[in-house]
Amino acid sequence: MSVPKNQHSVPQFLLERFSDKDGYLYVLDKRHRNRGIWKSKPRGVFVEKDLYTQIESDGTKDASVEKEFLSTIEAKASPVVEKIVCTARRAAPPGLTPEEKDIWLRFLYCQFIRVPETRNKHTGETRREVLNEISFLSQLGLFKDDELSILYDKRTMERLWRNASIKSVTTMHGEWFDILSKKRMCVAVVRNPKSKRGFVIGRNPVLKLTYPGRAHLADPSVELWLALARDVAVTPCPGESDKIISIRDNHVASINRKVFEQSDAIAGCSRKLIQSVLE
């Protein structure tokens, strides 16, 4: 079975919801500013070679995270996202079933953790903790020199840490899931037909908004935004029931700017929209 080389950090079915009437996205990449804003079909946006492919010691490639785990989640999440967006456009809350909510939360978590910026940050923290622990134990004489030799093989260690980073995508954080499962869903809709604003999608698309000293997900003031279409975005919220709200242009613009701040690249339905994020 062939190994898919070009892999999306944001699933293609989600990117398609931000395209123009001809199916194109307008993209701005901070890493290639001299290229300006360019146009592409969703299949060519936010892709990276072997993004979720693990490399074995003999050089063979294992794409099971992409082909089995991520593809399965995306297939289940696509109709749930469709339901959220369609009901929002009818000015109704999503009304997800318990099974649909479970799928939604797993998709939201996966989209949060799967992007390179997030997973590398978490893996880097784990790496420092592990190395500090090994250093401490080695000082106590609990490791032999030949057992520690792998730590000095930079190529092997980079491969192992990269594989660990990729594998981390498949592990659901229990506390994270438990907290969000107790929250409801707030769906924000751009309802003004004359609005020139709309949501962009970032390469790192899940935006966490907090107040100083209040960053824990259990805090009711914490927001975790994910845009699902150019006119619909969602965040978990406290309360007894889901709710739907109209969102002002200035709030959309603020979310877009913050998504751009944390992402290498953004995409949207028009050149003008992308330019507005830079203003």
What predicted TM-score, i.e. pTM, was given to this entire model? 0.84
Asked if residue 92 belongs to a domain, the reply is yes
Residue type at 223 in one-letter notation: E
Asked if residue 1 belongs to a domain, the reply is no
Question: Can you give the residue range of the structural domain that contains 147?
Answer: 6-277
Asked if residue 171 belongs to a domain, the reply is yes
Question: Quick check: 234 and 242 in contact, CB under 8 A?
Answer: no
DSSP three-state, residue 40: strand
Asked if residue 94 belongs to a domain, the reply is yes
Task: Report mean pLDDT in 10-residue bins for the chain, 279 residues.
Answer: 71 95 95 91 90 82 86 94 96 93 92 75 55 51 55 69 78 82 93 79 93 90 94 93 92 95 94 91
Length of the chain: 279
Asked if residue 106 belongs to a domain, the reply is yes
Q: How many domains does the chain have?
A: 1
Q: Pseudo-torsion of CA 41, 43, 49, 55, nearest 10°?
A: 170
Question: Quick check: 210 and 264 in contact, CB under 8 A?
Answer: no
Asked if residue 52 belongs to a domain, the reply is yes
